Amino acid sequence: MGEAMTWLQTIVLGAVQGLTEFLPISSSGHLRIVSGIFFGDDAGASFTAVTQLGTEAAVLVYFARDIARIVTAWFRGLFRPEHRGDLDYRMGWYVIIGTIPVGVLGFLFKDQIRTGARNLWLISSMLIIFALVIAAAEYYGRKRRPIEELTLKDGIVMGSAQALALIPGVSRSGGTISAGLFLGLTREAAARYSFLLAIPAVVASGLFSLPDAFEPAGAGLTASGAQLIVATVIAFVIGYASIAWLLRFVANHSMYWFVGYRIILGVIVMILLATGVVAAT
Separation in Å, CA 160 to CA 155, 165, 194 = 8, 10, 12
- Bridge partners (DSSP) of residue 22 are none
Q: Confidence class of residue 136 from pLDDT cuts 50, 70 and 90? A: very high
pLDDT grade for 260, boundaries at 50, 70 and 90: very high
The CA distance from 161 to 155, in Å, is: 10
pLDDT on residue 117: 74
What pLDDT, in 10s, does the model give residues 36-60? Answer: 888 887 777 777 777 888 888 998 9
What is the predicted pLDDT for the residue at 208?
73
Grade residue 155 by pLDDT with cuts at 50, 70 and 90. very high
CA angle 10, 35, 29 (to 5 degrees): 110
113-193-102 Cα angle (round to 5):
25
2-16, 39-53, 65-79, 211-225: segment of lowest average pLDDT: 211-225
pLDDT confidence tier of residue 203, bands split at 50, 70 and 90: confident
Q: Are 197 and 158 in contact, with CB atoms under 8 Å apart?
A: yes
The answer to pTM > 0.75 is: yes
Listed residue (195, 205, 184) closest to 70, CA to CA = 195
Res 219 pLDDT > 60? no
Mean pLDDT of the chain: 89
* Predicted local confidence at residue 132, as pLDDT: 97
d(CA 148, CA 144): 11
- Over residues 107-117, the pLDDT tens digits come to 787 777 666 67
What pLDDT does residue 123 have? 94
Q: What is the chain's alpha carbon radius of gyration, rounded to the nearest angstrom? A: 18
What is the model's pLDDT at position 115?
Answer: 66
Whole-number pLDDT of residue 212:
63
